[in-house]
Chains A and B, each alone.
Chain A
Amino acid sequence: MNMTSVSAYWRPESLGQALELLDRPSAVVLGGGTKLSAAPSDAVVEVVDLQALRLNDIEPGERAAVSIGSAATLQQVADSDHVPAVVREAARREQPSGLRAQATIGGCIATGDAESELLAVLLVHDAVVTMAAGAGVVERPLDALLAHLPVPAKTILLGVTIATSGVAAVSRTARTPADKAIVAAAARRIRGVRYVALSGVAYRPVLADRVADLDPIGDFRGSSEYRRALAAIHLERVAEAIS
């Protein structure tokens, strides 16, 4: 397996400096670094490490929301009292302890892993991602961002804001209790409105509450047929759990 080669390391002190560095050819954002180092690639890159930008705060926001900095580690999310319980649990499940202490929620979003239970949970919590680029700071709903991954070049994820109100639940099937879910369904109900998302049924976790819309890609952990069956079961279960 070839590893990504790093030709230069930058640690900008400001957002502006970071965006400027990202103008360099082959420059990429380095969050926790767990994905960059582990992903097989022949690429040679310059890395722009965002750690000095202090993007790791988790703060309650207005109108029953919490704002999570993109550099907040999954462990920080799992430990934060400001974060809804199902999100915390999904963050804990996302990685084992060592990687969880280093991997960031920004990295999780940028990777868009199809089987990420955390992304499914974020989707039902109305997640909105804040990003900085040359044109300024913009906000984008998480589902729209996931649908158009990768994150545009020369863009820095600043954070994600999620709703904290409502009743939420997750239902999942995995090979073992700690294994990544083959299919997971997350749901949240707020003032009679229901949000449902699934992981493991498409290229990215998706907002979806109808199995008929799905055409899952099968692999050795679950065929397309099985994933479709699981989706139906878990949609029903989470609906019942939040009803």
Chain B
Amino acid sequence: MIDIGFQLNGVATTVTCAPGDTLMVVLRRLGCFSVRYGSSTGETGAAGVLVDGRLVPADVLLVAQVAGHDVTTVESLNVATGELHPIQAAFVEAGALQSGYSAGAMVLATQALLDKNDDPSEAEIRDAFSGILDRETGYVKVIEAVRRAAAMLRYEETEPMEPVRVEPLGQITPGAFPVLTDVPAAVPRLVPSPDIPHTAVVGRPERKVDAVRLVKGNASFVDDIELRGMLHAKVLRSPHAHARIVAIDDAAARALPGVHAVLHCGNTPRVKYASGGQTWPNPKPWDQVSFDDKVRYVGDRVATVAAETPELAEQACRLIDVTYEVLPAVFDELDAIAAGAPVIHDEPDTVGIYDAARNVSHHIEGQTVSDDELATAFATADHVFEQTFRVPQQQHTPMEPHITIGWLDGDERLVLRSSTQVPFHVRRMVAPVLGLPVKRIRVMKPRIGGGFGGKQEMLLEDIVGHLALATRRPVRLELTREEEFVSSRIRHAQTLTLRTAVDRDGRLLAQDFYVVGNTGAYGTHGFTVQSVTGQRALSAYNCPAKRFRCEVAYTNRPVAGAFRGYGAPQAFFALESHMDDIARALGLDPVEFRRRNWVGVGDPLDIIPQLGERGAEDVAPEDIPRVTTCATDECAAQALRAIEWERRLDPAWHRPADRPKIRRGLGFALCMQATSIPNLDMGGASIKMNDDGSFNLLVGATDLGTGADTVLAQIAAEVLGVATDDVIVYAADTDLTPFDVGAYADSTTYISGTAVKKAAEAVRTRIVTRASRLLGGVDPDVTALRDGRAWTPDGRSVTLEAVALNALHTEDQEQIMATASYVSPESPPPFATQVAEVEVDVETGELTVTRLVIAVDCGVVINPTTASGQVEGAMVQALGYGVTEELVLDDDGRPVNARFGPYWIFRSDDTPPMETFLVQTMEHSGPFGAKSVGEIAIDGVAPAVRNAILDATGVAINAIPLTPERVWRALHRQPPRRSSNRPH
């Protein structure tokens, strides 16, 4: 051990540490929790600190290197409780925080930049932030935050972040498209609707309820606690894509001093489960166990160790001697279901696999007409088009990897503090695996550093539970970044074939959609993701005859699961590419062709009952779900105006005279999602009133950084007539909060929000009853709540504090509180139109996306800042899906790009300008008219970019990502190359 002295936040500090300790590890040990793990390569920037005023990643710096230097963390700014430094205030006001996992580094990056340059350009800001990856915001509001911080530090006035109201255009109008006035991209463009009710809190860009804790870097996340005697777990993972474990010798590992447990298939109960965090009963097949005697992908679990330090645990893993019988492997979904492929699930105890011998985990069928009727529709159509598309595995890459800390409390109940989207599902699912009743388990979700669906799983909790029970010590397990890439979950790769019949007027007559999904080694979410692929592709357009068929293939690739969009991005890449190509073949404008067919209010969503989570349902015609709100026309008008769509008709714009190798193009895509799973998703909320007229709101809903807690607080505040900060939110603790399915299926605002509204309305009833009495016996029905008071129609009022004190202490005492829950029979879809502008170098194939615009109909917007932030972040994630992102394996199934540099998610300095329009509709089934907004923007970028390339070059590309080589091969008519075990 060595002693290292340095200045930490201005205070002379000496630490005793190992020579190899990183600065990140030591700073966290010293309580600087704002310095967070994102990787060990410095690529995420989540561990950014200032060393002598330079922003550097503390995860690649040895603490010894800073001996004698000044180290600054964001804690240096946190001098007064409740107060913010101007930079922190700017981040809060601009809505630049989502999960806030990297907020400390972002604030410090701003400080370092502004110390050198008090008025940086956008390019300089983007460059300064190039070292901090942000998977959540799309960087738009971060850049605005830096600008605002600079202005505040120059003592200039800053405008409030009020949304800009944009007049509705009514419809797509050909001809001139006047562009909007110049306002920062971070400011949401809000298109009003006349039937939206007046509200005081809902609809306001309220600051996030967790903003202070996030921007100050306060202890908030799973890893931000320290437990005495905590052990560190590591997982030994398979080096083979497919192998049987013949023998495991763990003697050397167990003999290592400091090792407390070694678990594997030889000493762990074999309890079958499906890991997807879904409603009871979990969809089959239940094809996993904690530790199996067979491995099915490189990175699969083999064993786990709990030891005194992470290094010891790693060392012990290396000492476990595993004898494998290596088996042939298959990686491509088409190869996997072909005759002669190696059988991946040959174990006898898995039930519910559709056809294990053919590696088909699920077979899905749904159709709105008979096969004969479908065949007739195709046979008699004027035109029939057929295309096949391929989409790859995309990784979520949340900045916070999966992490779980577990311990036995004083009552010997197992407590799991976990980065999960589904704490209640996890509690129910992990119980049988551990052999415990549900009541002996508590799952807590603190702040989460992004999830995007990847944390809709029971992924680490069973391992940590096993180890905590085995050792009776607290156990911490955090995935490394490489494990996060390979061994967590990933978006399903698919091969999608669309066949479409069209009449001479460009109206759809029949759609036949066949998909082979790649679920990887296990079938979690295999049925539901692929069902959604069918639902989305066959719901966006009116068509009298539809059929969906799908086979979900096991392969020896990493395990696919839930990912933002949940099957829709795959569907819309295929569908919207296909629609563009049909329009081109018919000589129609691609938007006009779509407009003739896209669904509107009242149109049936008739494929949805055929592809439900609980199987096909025979529904009466009057029970077929229909579109209840839809502003696609307005969305298209806004997006086309903003992107200046008329430039498509200008040859000079397509071929810039001064850049002869460049072609420009514009592309369009329609998007559609759902809002929750009808009759299935349920959320609960509980509200209680405090002495001062404030309220505690307890919800099971899980805010992953999306702003859900803020939106729920706004809904409660609106009903209760108080400010948002009078509602204190506590979320997602299975012991303390009501049940909620969790954060998925775009359900939180709609389902949990309605539960909150119902609970608030019940509390409101109690308040106005008592207030009316205090006001002399007026009719409670005419008593209004606003501004923290109860009001009579003639202007008399009493404070809610007085009401609370009366209720709690004075007269006919009671705790004013209520609990409510909600499940919806409906799932009103949000709609969006996505447009993209690109440049293509026709010699090299290099693609540059130069602009993205989206217009989203998400119902009534509860919080324009958080809603537009969701949309911006999703667009950038979608841009990666379309242009760069694909987990590539070598011929043996080993990942070759499982780190950020080679994999490449978009950085601040290469994200194109983006603009977001929120086109409001009044969805009467949602709380205050809201639909969902969190996922839809993931759907359209890839096809819009692909279609823009088509517009620019005339070349249609039917696979993503649209890498330079893929574009080059298409341009130069070179045969596709075979890569990553998948022919493209």
The residues of B that contact A95 with a CB separation of less than 8 Å are: 131
Query: Known: A98-B48, A179-B884. Is A7-B19 also a contact (CB below 8 A)?
Result: yes
Instruction: Check B60 against A33 for contact (C-beta < 8 Å).
Output: yes
Our pick among A3, A98, A229 for the contact of B131 (Cβ within 8 Å) is A98
The answer on a CB contact under 8 Å between B897 and A220 is yes
Q: How far is the CB of B837 from chain A (nearest CB, A)?
A: 14
A4 to B896, CA, bound (A): 20
- A58 CB to nearest B CB, Å: 16
- Please tell me if the beta carbons of B884 and A176 are within 8 angstroms of each other in the complex: yes
Contacts A9-B62, A37-B40, A49-B64 given; does A96 touch B907 at CB 8 Å: yes
- Contact present for B909 and A222 (CB under 8 Å): no
> Across the interface, which residues of A come within 8 angstroms of B969, CB to CB?
226
- Verify A178–B55 contact, CB threshold 8 A: no
Interchain pairs with CB closer than 8 A, number? 151
Give the distance to chain A from B16, nearest Cβ to Cβ, in Å: 13
**Chain B positions within 8 Å of A101 at CB level:** 54-56, 131
Q: Which of B438-446, B702-710, B843-851, B913-921 contacts A (4 or more CB under 8 A)?
A: B843-851
Partner of B41, one of A38, A75, A226: A38
A174 within 8 A of B: yes
Judged by a CB distance under 8 angstroms, whether A138 is at the interface is no
Separation of A117 and B312 alpha carbons in the complex (Å): 39
Min CB–CB distance B23 → chain A (angstroms): 10
> Which of B886, B909, B965, B974: most chain A Cβ within 10 A?
B965
- A36–B132 CA distance with the chains assembled, in angstroms: 20
Question: In whole angstroms, how far apart are the Cα atoms of A56 and B60 in the complex?
Answer: 20
- Does A121 make an interface contact (CB < 8 A)? no
Chain A stretch 41-80: residues in CB contact (< 8 A) with chain B: 47, 49, 51, 75
Q: A51-B65, A100-B131, A220-B979 are in contact. Are A177 and B55 (CB under 8 A)?
A: no
Of A6, A220, A230, which contacts B19 at CB under 8 A? Answer: A6
Check B884 against A180 for contact (C-beta < 8 Å): no
Instruction: Judge if A11 is at the interface, Cβ distance under 8 Å.
Output: yes
A99 and B57 within 8 A (CB): yes
- Interface residues in B270-317 by Cβ distance below 8 A to A read 311, 314
Contact between A49 and B65 (Cβ–Cβ < 8 Å)? yes
Q: Does A175 lie within 8 Å of B963, measured CB to CB?
A: yes
Using a CB-CB cutoff of 8 Å, which residues 53-108 of chain B contact chain A? 54-57, 59-62, 64-65, 67, 105
Number of B residues near A (Cβ < 8 Å) is: 63
**Which chain B residues lie closer than 8 Å to A173 at the CB level?**
841, 844-846, 964
B980 partner residues in chain A, CB cutoff 8 A = 220
Q: Is B925 an interface residue (CB 8 A)?
A: no
**A111 contacts chain B at the CB level, 8 A cutoff:** no
For the complex, is B901 an interface residue (Cβ under 8 Å from A)?
yes
- Selected contact of B130 from candidates A3, A96, A175, A219, CB within 8 Å: A96
A34 and B131 CA atoms in complex are apart in Å by 13
- Taking CB as reference atom, which chain B residue is nearest A220? B888
Q: How far is the CB of B207 from chain A (nearest CB, A)?
A: 27
- Closest B-chain residue to A98, C-beta based? B131
Q: Is A243 an interface residue (CB 8 A)?
A: no
Instruction: Decide yes or no whether A182 CB sits under 8 A from chain B.
Output: yes
Residue in A3, A96, A220, A229 with the greatest tally of chain B CB atoms within 10 Å = A96
User: Given A6-B20, A223-B965, are A98 and B55 also a contact pair (CB < 8 Å)?
Assistant: yes
Q: Which of B45, B56, B59, B968 contacts A226 (CB 8 A)?
A: B968
Residues of B434-492 contacting chain A, CB below 8 A: 480, 482
Cα distance, A43 to B884, chains bound together (Å): 33
B906 in the interface (beta carbon within 8 A): yes
Query: In the complex, what residues of B have CB within 8 A of residue A38's CB?
Result: 40-42, 60
Say if the beta carbon of B128 comes within 8 Å of chain A. yes
CB distance from B65 to the nearest CB of A (A): 6
Q: Which of B54, B57, B901 contacts A180 (CB 8 A)?
A: B901
The complex places the Cα of A173 from the Cα of B56 at a distance, in Å, of 28
Bound form: Cα–Cα A34–B58 in Å: 10
B127 within 8 A of A: yes
Minimum Cβ distance to chain A for residue B547 (Å): 36
A165 close to chain B: CB less than 8 A: no
Q: Mark A1-45, 1 if CB is under 8 A from B, else 0.
A: 111111111010000000000000000001001100110000000
A7 partner, pick from B20, B61, B132, B843, beta carbons under 8 A: B20
In the bound complex, do residue B884 and residue A97 qualify as a contact, i.e. CB atoms below 8 Å apart?
Answer: no
| A37-B59 contact, Cβ under 8 Å, with A98-B48, A99-B131 | yes
Q: For window 176-195 of chain A, which residues contact chain B by CB distance below 8 Å?
A: 176-180, 182
Whole-angstrom distance from the CB of A47 to the nearest CB of chain B? 7
Given A96-B131, A98-B131: A222 touches B965 (CB 8 Å cut-off): yes
Q: Which residues of A contact B904 (CB under 8 A)?
A: 175-176, 179
CB distance from B171 to the nearest CB of A (A): 36
CB-based contact A97/B19 at 8 Å:
no
A16 to B340 Cα, complex, angstroms: 66
Q: Which residues of B contact A219 (CB under 8 A)?
A: 896
| Given A11-B67, A33-B61, A37-B60, also A97-B844 (CB < 8 A) | no
Q: Does A92 contact B (CB under 8 A)?
A: yes
Query: What is the bound-complex CA distance between A176 and B845, given in angstroms?
Result: 12
> Per a CB cutoff under 8 Å, which of A49, A51, A97 touches B128?
A97
Rounded to whole angstroms, the CA-CA distance of A96 and B2 in the bound complex is 31
Chain A residue with minimal CB distance to B905?
A176
List CB contacts (< 8 Å) of B639-690 with chain A: none
Chain B residues lying within 8 Å of A233, measured Cβ to Cβ, are: 843-844
Question: How far, in whole Å, are A214 and B907 apart by their CA atoms in the complex?
Answer: 32
Cα distance, A5 to B318, chains bound together (Å): 15
Nearest A residue (CB) for B45: A98
Q: When chains A and B are docked, how far (Å) is the Cα of A100 from the Cα of B907?
A: 15
Is A221 positioned at the interface, with any CB of B under 8 Å from its CB?
yes
In the complex, whether B33 has a CB less than 8 A from a CB of chain A is no
Distance of A75 Cα from B109 Cα, bound (Å): 14
Residue in B41, B64, B888 whose beta carbon sits within 8 Å of that of A11 in the complex: B64
Q: How far is the CB of B124 from chain A (nearest CB, A)?
A: 10
Q: Name the A residues within 8 Å of B132 (CB-CB).
A: 97-98
Of listed A102, A176, A220, residue having the most chain B CB within 10 A: A176
When C-beta atoms are compared, the residue in chain B nearest to A234 turns out to be: B844
Question: 1/0 contact trace for A221-243 toward B, CB 8 Å?
Answer: 11101100110011000000000
In the complex, per-residue mask of B27-49: 1 if CB is within 8 Å of any chain A CB, else 0: 00000000000001111010010
A102 to B59, alpha carbons, bound, how many Å? 12
B54 touches A75 (CB 8 A): yes
Contact check, A182 vs B964: say whether CB atoms are below 8 A apart.
yes
Closest CB-CB distance, B641 to chain A, in whole Å? 27
The complex places the Cα of A7 from the Cα of B105 at a distance, in Å, of 29
- Verify A99–B65 contact, CB threshold 8 A: no
* CB-based nearest B residue for A34: B60
The 8 Å CB contact of B883, one of A34, A100, A176, A178, is A176
- Find chain B residues with CB under 8 A from A75 CB: 54
Q: Which of A1, A96, A222 contacts B45 (CB 8 A)?
A: A96
Give the complex CA separation of A188 and B91 in angstroms.
Answer: 44
B218 within 8 Å of A by Cβ?
A: no
Q: Which residues of B contact A51 (CB under 8 A)?
A: 65
Known contacts A34-B60, A173-B841; 11 further A-B pairs (Cβ under 8 A): A30-B62, A33-B65, A34-B42, A75-B54, A99-B56, A100-B131, A102-B42, A176-B884, A219-B896, A222-B964, A226-B969
Task: Pull 21 A–B residue pairs with CB atoms less than 8 Å apart, ordered by A.
Answer: A8-B19, A30-B62, A34-B60, A37-B22, A37-B62, A96-B130, A97-B130, A98-B48, A101-B55, A101-B56, A102-B42, A102-B57, A102-B60, A173-B841, A175-B883, A176-B883, A176-B884, A177-B909, A220-B897, A223-B977, A226-B969
B interface, CB within 8 angstroms of A: 2, 18-20, 22, 40-43, 45, 48, 54-57, 59-62, 64-65, 67, 105, 109, 127-132, 311, 314, 480, 482, 841, 843-846, 848, 883-884, 886, 888, 896-897, 901-902, 904, 906-907, 909-910, 961, 963-965, 968-969, 974, 977, 979-980
Contacts from A to B (Cβ < 8 Å): 1-9, 11, 30, 33-34, 37-38, 47, 49, 51, 75, 92, 95-102, 173-180, 182, 219-223, 225-226, 229-230, 233-234
Lowest 6 CB-CB distances: which A-B pairs, in order?
A98-B131, A6-B20, A178-B910, A97-B131, A38-B41, A96-B131
